[in-house]
């Protein structure tokens, strides 16, 4: 009897001793690991492009997470740190001249490469308020080139929102938020075409080229760059 009682007490003591550190550890894990692993997971893919978005967005993201950790004030978190993008799980924020732009590239669901017609691109951007996106910054071009190359079924070329101005004989970006100027201008001169990014392979940079709207170019255009306006500068 005494023996079992001692064993029971010992077991309870051991259990208690184990419980507490575990709880504490779990709590620590919650506050540290999640904040560490989640951004890391997101950054793992983006981290390869050299200049890259992650620097600016992640600092803002960090400041928002550190706010949530340190703030014991009641509500102001959401008002003081508005999200850069409506859906950061899917969209990547890029700092443009007038505000943040939240881009994403459509991902092929099979290895069968079929051309995407430019006229169908709005449908592919689909849900929410997403639209076909331009590429205001070099960071956007480099980032989505990297994404396209590293899809499970890699993309050789993807559409962007662009048009040709016959008066000025210049191509320009048309997503409504990008600076319309394209410099240098894309290669090719088919006024009925549209600008696609020819992804190429590393370490070569991607190329902006005018491709027939059928999507049948020197490579098949099989994806589209989409985006939504993010937080605007006031």
Ligand X SMILES: *[C@@H]1O[C@H](CO)[C@@H](O)[C@H](O)[C@H]1NC(C)=O
Binding residues for ligand X, rule: CB under 6 A, are 165, 167-168, 172
107-to-73, 141, 161, 178 alpha-carbon distances in Å: 41, 16, 17, 23
Q: How far is the CB of 193 from ligand X (least distance, A)?
A: 17
Pairing of strands 207-211, 194-198: antiparallel
Alpha carbon distance 188, 195 (integer Å):
9
Number of other CB atoms surrounding residue 78 within 10 Å: 10
DSSP string, 33-67: HHHHHHHHHHHHTTTSSSS-TTHHHHHHHHHHHHH
Please enumerate in sequence order all residues whose Cβ is within 8 A of that of 120, keeping only pairs 6 or more positions apart, or say none: none
C-alpha span between 40 and 47 (Å, rounded)? 9
> Cβ 169 to ligand X, closest distance in Å?
8
Closest distance between ligand X and the C-beta of residue 165, in Å? 4
């Amino acid at each position: 009897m005494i023996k079992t009682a001692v064993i029971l007490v010992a077991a309870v003591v051991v259990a208690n001793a184990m419980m507490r550190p575990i709880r504490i550890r779990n709590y620590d894990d919650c506050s540290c690991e999640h904040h560490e692993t989640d951004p890391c997971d997101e950054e793992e893919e983006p981290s390869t492009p050299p200049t890259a978005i992650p620097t600016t967005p992640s600092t803002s993201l960090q400041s928002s997470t550190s706010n949530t950790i340190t703030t014991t004030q009641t509500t102001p978190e959401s008002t003081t740190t508005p999200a850069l993008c409506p859906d950061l799980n899917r969209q990547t924020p890029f700092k443009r001249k007038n505000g943040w732009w939240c881009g994403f590239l459509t991902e092929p669901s099979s290895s069968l490469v079929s051309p995407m017609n430019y006229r169908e691109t709005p449908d592919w951007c689909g849900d929410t308020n997403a639209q076909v996106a331009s590429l205001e910054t070099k960071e956007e071009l480099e980032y989505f080139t990297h994404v396209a190359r590293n899809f499970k079924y890699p993309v050789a070329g993807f559409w962007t929102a662009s048009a040709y101005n016959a008066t000025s004989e210049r191509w320009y970006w048309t997503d409504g938020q990008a600076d319309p100027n394209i410099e240098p201008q894309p290669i090719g001169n088919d006024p009925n075409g549209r600008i696609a990014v020819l992804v190429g392979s590393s370490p070569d940079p991607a190329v902006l080229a005018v491709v027939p709207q059928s999507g049948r170019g020197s490579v098949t255009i099989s994806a589209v760059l989409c985006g939504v306006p993010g937080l605007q500068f006031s």
